[in-house]
Structure 1
Amino acid sequence: MPNLPKFSDLPLNKEDPFKSAWGLYGKDDQLGFLNRLTDDVVLEAVKEIKTGTRVSLNWPLDAQSSIPFFNRQAFHKHVYAKPPRCVNDDVWTFNTQSSSQWDGFRHFGYQKEKQFYNGITMEDIHGEESSNVNGIGAWSEKGIVGRGVLVDYHAWRTANNIPYSPFETDSIPLSHLKATLASQGTELKFGDILIIRSGYMAAYNTLFNDQLSALAAVNPPHFGGVEQSEEMLEWIWENFAAVAGDQPSFECWPGKGEWLLHEVLLAGWGCPIGELFDLERLSVVCKEKGRWSFFVSSEVCNVPGGVASPPNILAIF
């Protein structure tokens, strides 16, 4: 691990919000934890490629075409002909968080302070002097590329008869994630991209439309996810460059405490959060190969000032 400030020393500036690390990479930084994906870290991650097997982690963009959660707009595709030539064009309209997504630094700020990563405000984003600051397009130059690690919590907990409901505010304890890694024989390396299979997608795929409609009508929606604890934050701080899962919210939702992981990860640290990744095929391939680490290549859409983006992500073994 490089010479990082200790978790116990956060926030770096005592007047800044809870556990924030503003200014660690410069006051105008747009990459946050992605600065951890140095050339050396990526070069080391390339060693994960041994067979060339590729697995997409992208849920179809129209997977929630009729019943998206969080009242988000559904995906619409319009294909139209261009006569007299034998030619088609199409237009897609969608909320960037209605399917697999990376949450960018404009998405979720500290709620009390009303500030985003490095102190950016809503006025900075929406005011007369607005700019593309903290936009997800800044990530596109180098992408999110490195060593991915799947924590197959769903497989571990079912094998150990541990109850968990993806559609209730159930917390996944850090101790369970560490136990899953131990059972897999997976060791972490600094700068890894953490990917957690909670079982949300497996459960979602068993539900009928009327059941999904009833769940989507609940406001706020209820989802399982990782626990909201300082121990979880410290674990992420010390190990990862980005975090992701198959859940709609990554952390349990609604929150159970005075603060949310989204606040600290996105607004405090600039740590990308991936959600609604389809990890079912990845789980099968990891088990077949007997390893849960792989090379990850994710290229976000180059949209200056964008809030979120489909991940366009592949795991390569």
Structure 2
Amino acid sequence: MAPPAPGIKVNADGVPDFDALPLREGDPPYSAWGLYGADDELGTLNRLTDERVAAAAQGEIRTGKRISLNWPLDAQPGRAFFQRATFRQEMMAKAPLAVNDDVWTFNSQVSTQWDGLRHFAYQGARRFYGGRTQKDIHGQGRDEDGKEGGKGTVLGIHAWAEQGIIGRAILIDYHGWRESQGVAAKPFDSFATSPIPLEDLKACLAAQGTEVKFGDILFVRTGFHLARSGKNPAEIWDHHEKVPHPFGGVQQSEEMLRWIWSSFAAVAGDHPTFECWPPWTQVKEWSLHEVLLSGWGCPIGELFDLEALAAHCRASKRWSFFLSSEPCYVPGGVASPANAVAIF
């Protein structure tokens, strides 16, 4: 993990105070470009130092209980949100031997996945993390022998695959907390632009008795998978027809940004967009996707299956755990299945 660049003032956690953002005059809102040098591709994953990961393993792995956080790759058959290609499997018998192969084709964001740094730019500035452009991403670079003409891989998901997204994680069981409060008192609709305010996330943490530590990986359970399972195929089809798709999620606010910046190495949820969607109904100048991905290099996880995790957290009265997530090693990849497991 890279240390902060020389000349940048950092606090006790090794990062600049939120009020120092953006770090350079003229950069997009709240961006931290240059914090770890001009060529950095890890962003907030630089917070997952060897020492923090080791401490997380020692402090969180107690029983050996393991829970998958992955929604099946084929969970959206026929048609997927955001017009993404669905999962297809081709099975091949390798006669005359009793042997089989298969070929998978799918969009990397069709199920549980991490948004990578090539995914979403600052829309006004049209710049990705560190100031990279579409030309930087789609233009020609050097091939593996150093010759001109090879495909460029800048900001590819492979940079995260080399060390994984691994460390202490916490679950905010927002859906469970809403039920305990009485859902009428805390209305939320997974299939509408319903924002979850920071005060509710903090109230849920307090009710759980969950401590946030710097460098944690945040998970928010909204109950999306339960809401989706309660809809019939025609209702799901009708939602596909709405462009842009409306979804509930974390509220866009400066307070939310402050909290994420001061606490987390990555953020994720069970819903398709993490933040409520479309985002610009809350804040006109920016979205969380823009600031997190392109401003800070912070992974955004979506469509995680948190149902079994939430049940275990309730039963054990413990909402922190060790996360091991290994993105696929695809040089120049935009996003990746999470391949994630929680370990208690």
Q: Which residues of structure 1 form unaligned runs of 5+?
A: none
Give the drift of 1:66: 1.7
Give the drift of 1:3: 3.1
Amino acid across the alignment from 2:341: L
2:301 is aligned to: 274
User: TM-score of the superposition, structure 2-length normalised?
Assistant: 0.91
Specify which of 185, 189, 193 is matched with residue 213 of structure 2.
Answer: 189
1:172 is aligned to: 196
Query: Is contact 1:67–1:212 with CA below 8 Å preserved after alignment?
Result: no
1:144 is aligned to: 165
1:132 is aligned to: 153
1:102 is aligned to: 114
2:323 is paired with a residue of what secondary structure? strand
Higher mean C-alpha displacement, 121-130 vs 265-274: 121-130
Give the drift of 1:217: 1.2
List per-residue Cα deviations over 1:201-258 (Å, max 9, x = no partner): 1111222211111111111100000000010000000000000000100000001221
RMSD: 0.8
Give the drift of 1:163: 1.1
Give the drift of 1:158: 1.6
Mapped to 2, the partners of 1:305 and 1:65 lie a distance apart of 27
Mapped to 1, the partners of 2:260 and 2:320 lie a distance apart of 17
List per-residue Cα deviations over 1:127-156 (Å, max 9, x = no partner): 234510000011111100000100000000
Give the drift of 1:119: 0.6
Mapped to 1, the partners of 2:117 and 2:256 lie a distance apart of 20
Mapped to 2, the partners of 1:122 and 1:42 lie a distance apart of 34
1:11 is aligned to: 22
1:80 is paired with a residue of what secondary structure? strand
Query: Is contact 1:166–1:224 with CA below 8 Å preserved after alignment?
Result: yes
Give the drift of 1:67: 2.4
Query: Is contact 2:116–2:335 with CA below 8 Å preserved after alignment?
Result: yes
2:155 is paired with a residue of what secondary structure? coil
4+ runs deviating over 6 angstroms = none
2:45 is aligned to: 34
List per-residue Cα deviations over 1:158-185 (Å, max 9, x = no partner): 2112110000000000000000000000
Specify which of 59, 65, 83 is matched with residue 53 of structure 1.
Answer: 65
2:187 is aligned to: 163
Mapped to 2, the partners of 1:275 and 1:283 lie a distance apart of 16
2:126 corresponds to 1:114: yes
User: TM-score of the superposition, structure 1-length normalised?
Assistant: 0.99
Query: Is contact 2:117–2:129 with CA below 8 Å preserved after alignment?
Result: yes
Amino acid across the alignment from 1:87: V
Higher mean C-alpha displacement, 208-217 vs 84-93: 208-217
Mapped to 1, the partners of 2:214 and 2:226 lie a distance apart of 29
2:96 corresponds to 1:69: no
Mapped to 1, the partners of 2:64 and 2:79 lie a distance apart of 36
Higher mean C-alpha displacement, 62-71 vs 122-131: 122-131
Amino acid across the alignment from 2:213: K
Higher mean C-alpha displacement, 203-212 vs 142-151: 203-212
Higher mean C-alpha displacement, 233-242 vs 65-74: 65-74
Amino acid across the alignment from 1:168: A
2:326 is aligned to: 299
Mapped to 2, the partners of 1:134 and 1:270 lie a distance apart of 9
Mapped to 2, the partners of 1:58 and 1:222 lie a distance apart of 23
Mapped to 2, the partners of 1:5 and 1:35 lie a distance apart of 13
2:261 is aligned to: 237
Amino acid across the alignment from 1:154: H
2:250 is aligned to: 226
List per-residue Cα deviations over 1:75-111 (Å, max 9, x = no partner): 1011111111111100000000000000000000000
State the aligned residue count: 317
Mapped to 2, the partners of 1:4 and 1:220 lie a distance apart of 35
1:79 is paired with a residue of what secondary structure? strand
